[in-house]
Structure 1
Amino acid sequence: MKPHGISIGLSRVKSTFFIHIRAFGTLQHDDYQYMVPTIESALSEVTQPKLNVLIDITELDGWTMNAAWDDFKFGMKHRREFEKIAVICSHRWQKGVMHVSNWFMPGEIESFNNHHDALVWLEQA
């Protein structure tokens, strides 16, 4: 069985703070049962109204239907808290999913092929 899940971290580069999320394998409903409370707990302590997010989906194979719905609900609930979202992706379908997400998010969303370019973009005012 191939590993799947989500790792979450809080990072800082110079004066820019952001949430770093790495998704891998085929995400399932259970993955969101652990991820959502963890991120919501971290967000409840943030005093800044807007956050920058770095999402690495280069190892993501996809979602089960329930997990896709969980992802959509989470994004809709917190969409106004995310100012900039940098998505590192390696497949064409991942970029397509990212562009659809852009329809629902008021903040900026950009896709990148590597970590460095994503961080540079997040640091820009």
Structure 2
Amino acid sequence: MISTEHTDRLAAITVFGEFTLADYKEFEELVNYKIQFNGALDLLFDLREMAGFTLDVAWEEIKFSRQHAHDFRRIAVLTEDQWLTWSAWVSQLFVDAEVRVFSDESEARSWLAAGEASEAVP
């Protein structure tokens, strides 16, 4: 199951339990909509409560990342799991976005907000 929140420039996704293909499709719909109407987007992935993911989610993530390689500015991943940290690093190979891993949500949100503020300065 996932929970989402979003603003014009940010999509925040929290995963609870197993991350399924249906959950990923919900995430894709939100992101595609935001990109279509607002342009490049920041992402916050909170994976601290994720119990695992299905193989089809991993495959879908690779396809989605390649399709949207230039559509993200910054991606913050919240996790304390070393495997997910490594996975976030590998994801950088598929997107132009700056990707960082955090264990503290306020630090992640501050980093994303700082990126948005620096874009606003002429």
Quote the residue 2:85 is aligned against.
Answer: 95
State whether structure 2 residue 17 is matched by structure 1 residue 21.
no
Could you list the runs of 4 or more consecutive aligned residues of structure 1 that deviate by over 6 angstroms after TM superposition? none
Give the CA deviation at 1:54: 1.1
Quote the residue 1:84 is aligned against.
Answer: 74
Query: After superposition, what is the alpha-carbon deviation per residue over 1:49-95, rounded to whole angstroms, capped at 9, x for unaligned?
Result: 32211111111122111111112222222221101111111211111
Structure with greater proportional helix content: 2
Quote the residue 1:69 is aligned against.
Answer: 59
Query: After superposition, what is the alpha-carbon deviation per residue over 1:90-125, rounded to whole angstroms, capped at 9, x for unaligned?
Result: 211111111111111111000011111101111222
Distance 1:24 1:72, change over 3 A: farther
Structure with greater proportional strand content: 1
Q: Give unpaired runs (5+ residues) of structure 2.
A: none
TM-score by length of 1: 0.80
Distance 1:34 1:85, change over 3 A: closer
Quote the residue 1:118 is aligned against.
Answer: 108
RMSD across aligned positions (CA): 1.8
Give the CA deviation at 1:44: 1.8
Quote the residue 2:5 is aligned against.
Answer: 9
Give the CA deviation at 1:6: 2.1
Quote the residue 1:104 is aligned against.
Answer: 94
TM-score by length of 2: 0.82
**Structure 1 counterpart of 2:83, which letter?**
W
Q: Give unpaired runs (5+ residues) of structure 1.
A: none
